[in-house]
Structure 1
Amino acid sequence: MQRIAIVGAGGAGKTVLANQLTALLALPVTHLDALRYDADWNVVPEREFVDAQRAVVAGDRWIVDGNSTASMPVRFARADTIIFLNLPPLLCLWSILRRRLRYHGGRHPDGVHDRITVGSLRFVLTFRRRFAPAVRAHIAAHGQRAVLIEVTSRRQVNLLLARLDGPARNGGTDDG
């Protein structure tokens, strides 16, 4: 696991997982929101956004979290691991609400900008039905060489982290 792409609906925990993996695996992390928006939270031109991703994934070691279906081929073609957080919509909505209550909107310390709109809520509610098939199609087309880890619950995320924590603590080996 040297080049990890993390995808999933809003509120699925992409940024949190990316930060936890960074701590465990000592890989640099890039949050797509940081590439997608400028300092004033304006969308950057698509070409600039894609070029910035190409520069990140050209490296040998990285974690990139975020959706951006249009540029998934850029990340998936270079990833050795794709983590698909396919959590239930109501759990994702609950996470968004908790984040709003915790940070009171705006940009929080992890770099996510808390902007709740009708469109973003619709995206979360329909992600599994409308967007997950596109994610799977991009994985099939561009991520054939990557190991796919699809998780559907917070428990599975925690088990993944626990499994990775053992080797990380033992210098990269599974034997204790």
Structure 2
Amino acid sequence: MPSIEPQRPRRILVAGASGAGKSTLARRIAAACGLPYQEIDALFHGPDWTPRPSFVDDVTAFTDQPGWVTEWQYGEVQPMLAERAQLLVFLDYSRPRVMRQVISRTVRRRLSREELWNGNIGGPFHTFFTDPEHIVRWAWNTHGTRAALVDDAAARNPHLEVVRLRHPREAEAWFARVFRSSR
């Protein structure tokens, strides 16, 4: 009797603190699975960092597809995303690791004047002190809240498989096992 391979999830979220590497892992998963990927920040941020009025509708349209990968962010759509997803990968990295990653990314993006979403570029370094929602401050202040949000989503959505990864080496081993071994 031929063995039947379990079907891979086709609706996948990647959760974690800002700077943990959600977008990077989400892109890799999408490429490995041949699924569409949408960076959710690009749907949220309009020009001049203004929230896009079509954000919820755009997320709804993207997740109406039979398969997709995106990050699990933004409270107004998190419940819908968790309800629609089959798998939530949680990058539950330590605060020191996340802070190193978000600071180095922020500095690199600012020095290179990298365009992020819809023409936006990270603000000057001094905004760390003046903007309470500066990405580095946001990462610090919200780091400890992610686990409770993931646990709540899992409790509310029994169909949702949650994979919790505590270190990039663990994430790499998981990715290799799940996405590379079955090619």
- Cα distance change, pair 135–95 in 1 and its aligned pair in 2 (3 A): same
Q: Deviation at 1:23?
A: 1.9
CA contact (8 A) 2:10 2:35 kept: yes
- Counting strand residues as a fraction of each chain, which structure ranks higher? 1
Q: Which residue of 2 aligns with 1:99?
A: 105
Q: Which residue of 2 aligns with 1:13?
A: 21
- Cα distance change, pair 29–124 in 1 and its aligned pair in 2 (3 A): same
Q: Which residue of 2 aligns with 1:76?
A: 82
- 1:30 counterpart SS class: coil
- Cα distance change, pair 118–106 in 1 and its aligned pair in 2 (3 A): farther
CA distance in 1 between counterparts of 2:121 and 2:164 reads: 25
Q: How does 1:83-94 map to 2 (within 5 A)?
A: 83-94=89-100
| TM-score using structure 2 length | 0.78
CA contact (8 A) 1:33 1:112 kept: no
Q: Percent identity between the aligned chains?
A: 24
CA contact (8 A) 1:90 1:125 kept: no
How many matched pairs? Answer: 164
1:55 is aligned to 2:61 = yes
Select which of 142, 156, 160 maps to 2:170.
156
Q: Deviation at 1:18?
A: 1.0
CA distance in 1 between counterparts of 2:121 and 2:18 reads: 11
Q: Supply the AA of the counterpart residue of 1:154.
A: P
Q: Deviation at 1:114?
A: 4.2
- Cα distance change, pair 137–157 in 1 and its aligned pair in 2 (3 A): same
RMSD of Structure 2 on Structure 1 (CA):
2.4
CA distance in 2 between counterparts of 1:41 and 1:69 reads: 17
Q: Any idea what the Cα deviations from partners look like across 1:93-148, whole Å, max 9, x if unmatched?
A: 11112213433254359x9964565433333224343343133213321x321211
Q: Which residue of 2 aligns with 1:174?
A: none
Q: Which residue of 2 aligns with 1:30?
A: 38
Unaligned runs of 5+ in 2: 1-8
Q: Deviation at 1:74?
A: 1.1
